[in-house]
Structure 1
């Protein structure tokens, strides 16, 4: 093999210029193809094989109800229920008008249907209490609807000072008005909520949060579609002025939003890691090669191989996933090894006085075979995942494994051609060995001299590592792989803890009414199930009784109330009305005493402060402040009056009367009905989530949803890890036996590999690193990468053994150290990513390579030395 590779490199040397030209043109074509054909699939669900039964069930569910999985949830929080509802309607209308981007826009618990029939969803007790309060407030509301002004409001309030409250307890509106005047004095945006004033003090206040459920026209293969959908919402929010300055906060979550932000996080992290990795590799190359031309040749060959690997990815898979997107950083760290070993040997031969042609030929003969074997063993670590159901890492394995052979071909073709075109200048004079050369030689000599102590320490370390491995754990929660500081993840976690909006539910599809009822009853008997929802829950109970109450209230109200669009504002007149009301209120307090009327006293103080701060302002500024105050106090009342008018027109409803957008969430196009299973415990705890999923699927195996995907995907990943680790281990052991032709040497190498893996697991336990979907590739990959160093050392001992037996004193030993350092630096840059999955993969691979380096430099020489002596 060595002779064949030497001849090949000699041919490359003679045609170096043509090889470089051909490589340049080829890279240009491949780069263009990669840019135009390589996409990204942002779906995390697609990272598990679709052939698994639970995946097929989930795919069927996703196709039946796409708006429940491939969605964007817009969460609107506002200072008042009216602001939240208004923002929901404005934003919903704006997005519905953009049919090219959004397939459907569902106003959750909003829209005309719920405005008209909302009272039917109250309990009979709540409806009776509401009706009593509105009936008592009828004169108050009638007069304000006819003349929506501060003058009318203050006149009505004066009447309540010495009488029973009309709208509610008098103090409630007094406290609310005091807050309005305080906000005006402070220059804060504020809106008084008339809906909350009309609600019973014991009733649940109107929701300050509203949701929009969007199904964008987004394809997993087109991240641009996700960006357009997400940015389209943000543009509409900005255009409508929905911000904290108007009492509204809009946030995005849901599968599409989280995948969009996750892709942005992964891309930013891998781009940063790629740049830093290349810079660190250049530094390491310069330290070991000490030649700018050799460094430049190595970097250019790295880039050529990276471009070719990217083109292969475009052909082989077409779309990267959120794990395989890291192939570029892995390639830089691993492919640099080939350049280091080839160039280090070439540099050694040149320093010994050989001609460039002979140095290239001899380098190929000396290290070419070991490079081929190392490419194979590293590829095995990657390829071991291909037959598994973990499609996400299987894709990375296919790309990166093949990338190792591409790197090998580039290192034996493009690299020697570049060196021939840019030959390194000869060194003048005999320079003393650099510090790192002397240090490695001393380390190697020390290991050989104290091999007995090294072996004893190895036994102790092995025992400690084995004990620590009992603490290794696997985190199957995909949320923990995402950036916890991102808006979409933080918002999703809030929804998980909200009993009204729990997103971690399970779904069961039934095709018959009998199966529907039986399944529901069976699920309700489970301890882990709080409730089972269906479309039937949106048909109100006791409708005839409730409609009678509503009809009676409509009669009391004497017909519909007028619906003014905006409050009547006359700044000068309103300012005088405010001063007059303050005077009347002060007189009232003087009669009853401050202690008996705390709300009135607080309102009076705020009024006086506001008047003092406002009366000396310039007329224009004072008019603006008065106008803002009137808006603050009365602006939400028109919406409440319109809502009341609509609610008094309620009619009996059945399932068929429900809005189509609501029915689509519960009944599929083919007629199957969905049951939504709600957990009884806090499923933000992974243990409780697993208990919930297991109990429900034990009763109904067809139950599906994201919790099932999370649990089953974790099992699939663990199974994939076991298969990949054992497969890689077996194949690598066979290669070692064939290469070393010594069972004792092969066992020594395997032992140090297993020790490095065990130490990596122990370090993960110590540093609190859990295995997850992203970093579980580390251990099988470390087997393939870790054995490379041992192969180089063993091959050098056979091909060109050093006289003193100290391999660390040779160029091969130095190349091993520096190639591992480049890999450590490259993987370490991944740990800087904001994406938790990418960072954990980089961190675990870095720890693993450090352990591998220690075992290779210390443990392996001691074990091989013992074998040699015997």
Structure 2
């Protein structure tokens, strides 16, 4: 027996064994298959998880991804979500931001670390550390002036003490000139008027402001009235009708520089933190930055509840503010929308299944066989769910559409049924026809399945996890499709066609369509060569698109607002990350990054803390101590002692005024004021006088309050920043994050490459989405190329083991080579770029495109004499099988996901070019057979003993060891032996078949 015969017997034995076993008890086979369906579906439902992050596609052991994982370990894997409010001006946007932030904070179960602006937090109390150094140095001299004022005012909140001091000053005016005397009496008049106002409950502010102004040295800011005598209008003091103006106490009297110094301390903090709200430079966009509360992470679309809650909130706020536009973007939202679009792969799978069924019906002229092929295909997909649960355990972005993929790839039953229909017309028994079909085309079908599966399994050898998992899932699924077509499908046919009288069905004969083409072999061969060359000229125009946003569904608001952020704020979700061990290293790296030509801006929070805080600390502490002393002096004694001292002071003034006849009216007014004082209930009097300390602070003005509020002597630290800001830039172990934004279009390959190189020139350990995307794209492209090379080697090896002829292996590869050259050339002409989604076509086309060539060459080898054209069953099976694959992948173009659309478009073109090349291959084979065909009557499979071996294999173990009784004569043709034995076996098996049915 020749080596070729042994090789053929191995392939056919496998197919014959499966078909023979499945058709002995077809009902049992279908029951077992159904149980496996239920078990596999249940196992898949409970065990398969969905890994929806792009990071799940990467090899965790790769160096660049290890850096990302270290970053995640320090800062977590939560990405920012950007809520965008678009309007005409900040005034229009700001109230919407406030309302929106409140609505988001009311949902802590969904949102965390909400930041609608830069909140100074506890840093506001340490504002003196942020003002310019020259302004800090200018505060002590002004405090000297204020401390002097406070010392003179003493108890500005104590009117009795103040009036007593005024009396002492008057006694010291002996010998003073008239100007000083007039100024003195002017102050006395205003002091009594303000005191009367306090006692009348008309506000302590008059007295407080007057006292601070009067405490200045005489003549400096005083307002002389002129004249030689004091004239106090009648009833003015009691009625409170004196001048209520603050006198001469201006900003300088308060000890602070106008508009500077302590009053700007709080503003200095805001300036250091950039601005209160997050607005674009043109004021058209306002931002709220938040993070989602982590979910289980096992849903197909991660953060589904969070995104739904966010969009519902935006819709509610949008209805109340129609003048602005609201939207959300950021990686979590973008990835959610991408997975939602990928989720439409279920719709694509349904459309693919419908399209495949319609092709089946058109090819077989009825519903019986297409229905059985479809059931077999669905069975294989269900089995694959269980296989996925055990082999991988989860699905990712690439593998989530495996159902549609298998529906397009795994329809090997087309070839089986096409040949069965032809054989069934020649044979009376269904089971014998099935076994004969397995002996005739089983090897070719097995070769096609093994080569396609090998092409996918080769992807498992790459270091790109997404491609490796796709290879494992698709490779195993292909083999399960073949297994279902060799077991479940024959069992169904055996049951449905068990009656000898059952019509075998009809197959659409397509040979007439291609007869003119195959009748001119030289022309067909020339067309194949010229078309391939013409299409290959488009290869230089083929390009690669790195932009992941181009894979998103068109018109998505998340993509639109992402582009707006980049346009208006140079803020993208894609920025490089540098992790520094200390604040000093972070600041040094920031300076280095800013000098790079590809860097737009850098964000970090270390610079929010003044670097000279330690140097400023002594000066700030000294200012804080002096402010404390001044506050104590201005506050005075307790309110309980105030009424007694005021009564005593009024008595002193009355006694002094009574001794001067010219002051008789003034003395009477003092007596009235004292009488009013004694008539007020003690509790009410204490309440009115206790308001004076607060009035003193009010008189000092808002800058005094700002200075006090910004004079915390403790140096500022990062812990003083709001948690929403700190959590983004300070890691669990105290390391510091620096975010580096790219200048220009990051998705431009040249810009991306240079940006990554520049960032790494400063920090070789840098990570972040741009670097992940850059490295992942390189690794993925390399993985696809490696997978294609591995697949090619595996395919060639499998083909050689099948054909044992390098010539025939080369012939099988012709449709694949021409198809791939035509595909990529067409992509160049049509400007369909390669991208991360459709790069998978390399191993896919290798696996799929080889199938047609295998069946054409098997048909070529089976025919005797000069080769004229493929057998009608082979031709129809090739066309129908390829069309089902084309329709299956073409259904992906119905998906809103641009990546799946691109994949479907490329694979549809690839299938079309490979089919065209396969249909032109017979012309080339006819030319070759004319040059070196076998002798008349000799099969291209090898010697005639091959058929004998197949016949022996077909019936080995049947009829209870009766094969010796049907041993053929040496001169009897093997094909006739196979047919005779099949008929004899069918007759012997008729009753058992019916019983099994």
Task: Provide the rounded CA distance (Å) in 1 between the counterparts of 2:555 and 2:124.
Answer: 36
Q: Name the SS of the counterpart of 1:413 in structure 2.
A: helix
Q: Is the 8 A contact 1:824 1:850 kept in 2?
A: yes
Equivalent position of 2:101 in the other structure: 92
Aligned residue in 1 for 2:332: 256
Paired residue total:
696
Residue 84 of structure 1 and its aligned partner are, at CA, apart by 3.7
Give the alignment partner of residue 288 of structure 2, picking from 208, 211, 214.
211
Do the aligned residues in 1 keep the contact of 2:816 with 2:850 (CA within 8 Å)?
yes
Range moving further from structure 2, 107-116 or 45-54? 107-116
Flag the 1:730–1:247 CA change in 2: closer, same or farther, 3 A. same
Q: Which residue does 1:511 correspond to in 2? A: 581
CA contact (8 A) 1:454 1:858 kept: yes
Say yes or no: does 1:416 pair with 2:476. no
- For the pair 1:24 / 2:101, whether they are aligned, the reply is no
CA-to-aligned-CA distance 1:43-83 (integer Å, 9 cap, x gap): 1122121211111112222332336x534222233555356
C-alpha distance in 2, partners of 1:506/1:289?
58
CA displacement at 1:779 relative to structure 2: 2.2
Asked if the contact 1:480/1:836 (under 8 Å) is kept, the reply is: yes
**Equivalent position SS for 2:568:** coil
CA contact 1:496–1:684 (8 Å) conserved in 2: no
TM-score (norm 2): 0.64
* Residues 293 and 702 (structure 1), Cα distance of their counterparts in 2 relative to 1, 3 Å cut: same
Q: Is the 8 A contact 1:745 1:864 kept in 2?
A: no
CA contact (8 A) 1:775 1:837 kept: yes
1:477 aligns with 2:550: no
How far apart in 2 are the matches of 1:809 and 1:404?
Answer: 26
2:538 aligned partner: 468
Determine if contact 2:542/2:833 at 8 Å carries over to the other structure. Answer: yes
CA distance in 2, matches of 1:229, 1:427: 63
For the 8 Å contact 2:869–2:922, the answer to whether it is kept is no
Instruction: Give the match for residue 836 of structure 1.
Output: 898
1:356 and 2:419 are equivalent in the alignment: no
Work out whether residues 590 and 738 of structure 2, in 8 Å CA contact, stay in contact via their aligned partners in 1.
yes
CA distance in 2, matches of 1:236, 1:647: 40
Q: Give the 5 Å matches for 1:30-109.
A: 30-66=40-76, 69-78=78-87, 81=90, 84-109=93-118
Corresponding position of 1:222: 299
User: What is the RMSD of the two structures over their aligned residues, measured on CA atoms?
Assistant: 3.8
The structure 2 residue matched to 1:455, chosen from 521, 525, 532, is 525
The structural deviation recorded for 1:471 is: 2.2
Residue 832 of structure 2 aligns to a residue in which SS? coil
Q: Which whole-Å CA distance do the structure 2 matches of 1:533 and 1:4 have between them?
A: 65
* SS of alignment partner, residue 677 of structure 1: strand
> Structure 1, residues 215-256: CA drift from partner, whole Å, max 9, x if none?
3313443346511111122333455x3436454433121121
For the 8 Å contact 1:481–1:836, the answer to whether it is kept is: yes
Q: 1:285, 1:415 → 2: CA distance? A: 14
Identify unmatched segments of 5+ residues in structure 1: 125-198, 552-641
* Stretches of structure 2 lacking an aligned partner (at least 5 in a row): 1-10, 134-275, 625-701, 933-997
Q: Give the match for residue 986 of structure 2.
A: none
Q: Where in structure 2 are the equivalents of 1:127-526 lying within 5 Å?
A: 208-223=285-300, 226-238=303-315, 241-243=317-319, 245-268=321-344, 270-336=345-411, 338-423=412-497, 437=509, 439-443=510-514, 445-499=515-569, 501-526=571-596
Report the equivalent of 1:172: none
1:33 positional shift: 1.9
Give the superposition deviation at 1:830: 0.6
Name the CA shift for 1:676/1:122 in 2 (closer, same or farther; >3 Å).
farther
Match of 2:885 in 1: 823
Render the CA deviation track for 1:316-358: whole Å, top value 9, x for unaligned: 222211111111011011112x111111111112223432111
Q: Which has the larger radius of gyration?
A: 2
1:510 CA displacement = 1.2
> Partners in 2 of 1:204 and 1:488 — Cα distance?
21
CA–CA separation in structure 1 for the residues paired with 2:482 and 2:762: 54
- 2:731 corresponds in structure 1 to 668
State the SS of the aligned residue for 1:252.
strand
Contact 1:748/1:864 (8 A) holds in 2? no
Go from structure 1 to structure 2 and tell me whether the alpha carbon gap of 1:490 and 1:357 turns closer, same or farther (over 3 Å shift): same
Change (3 A) 1:304 1:802: farther
Maintained 8 Å contact 2:586/2:606: no
The residue that corresponds to 1:854 in the other structure is 916
2:23 counterpart residue number: 13
Q: Report the alpha carbon displacement of residue 458 of structure 1 after superposing the two structures with TM.
A: 3.2
Distance across 2 between alignment mates of 1:847 and 1:646: 72
Alignment check: 8 A CA contact 1:84 1:210 kept: no
Report deviation, 1:816.
Answer: 0.9
Q: Distance in 2 between matches of 1:100 and 1:501?
A: 27
In the alignment, which residue of structure 2 is the partner of 1:700?
763
CA distance in 1 between partners of 2:127 and 2:287 (Å): 15
Using the TM superposition, give the Cα deviation of residue 852 of structure 1 relative to its aligned residue in structure 2, in angstroms. Answer: 0.5
- 1:648, CA displacement in angstroms? 11
| CA distance in 1: counterparts of 2:720 and 2:503, whole angstroms | 95
